[in-house]
Amino acid sequence: MALGELVGLLRHADNEACLRDSASPTPRMFALSKQASMERVGGQLLVIQRELNERTSTGMLPENVVAMLGNAIEVIARQVWPREFAAMGTRSDFGRLLDEKGRSPDALEQRLARVAMTLYKQYRVPAEHAGPTFRCSYEEARFFFNGIRVLEDLRRRIIKGKNK
């Protein structure tokens, strides 16, 4: 009897997750996780670049660009500031981390934090919280996409500088 109740609870939780997933602009399987590798981020950038350039192949909505790449901000931050990222307690600490790093004496880290904060506050958070009601233009999607590319470039340069 208890096993049946447990299976029922799990099925109900799975159904709720499926409903949330179907209501989002991008299914979970296509979105980056916060633990994604930089290779996965790079792969997503290539796919989205192709879609934005061709725009007719699958009809990708601009909101999907933000939904698919949104977690890349955290992935990149984790690569640049692993100790600080590991010490974070809550998601709201991420904004504080970016704010703190935005005042860094290191110009590249400061730039990365400020670009990340803009993308995070103006697109990533609204897209996550508004769900299917979030809207943006193709130009905004291109801005977000290019912002992630800038973050990746800054990440690479910062890590290269630390490894000297």
pLDDT band for 12, please (50, 70, 90 cuts): low
Looking at residue 40, what is its pLDDT? 74
∠ CA 152-46-55, rounded to 5°: 125
User: Over the chain, what is the mean pLDDT?
Assistant: 80
Q: Which of 47, 51, 97 is closest to 74 using CA atoms? A: 97
* Contact predicate 115/150, CB 8 Å: yes
Q: What's the distance, Cα to Cα, between the start and end of the chain in Å? A: 62
* Choice among 54-58, 124-128, 142-146 with the minimum mean pLDDT: 54-58
Q: What percent of the chain has pLDDT over 90?
A: 37
Average pLDDT for 52-69: 76
Give yes or no for residue 138 having a pLDDT over 60: yes
pTM across the whole model: 0.72
Domain ranges of the chain: 28-162
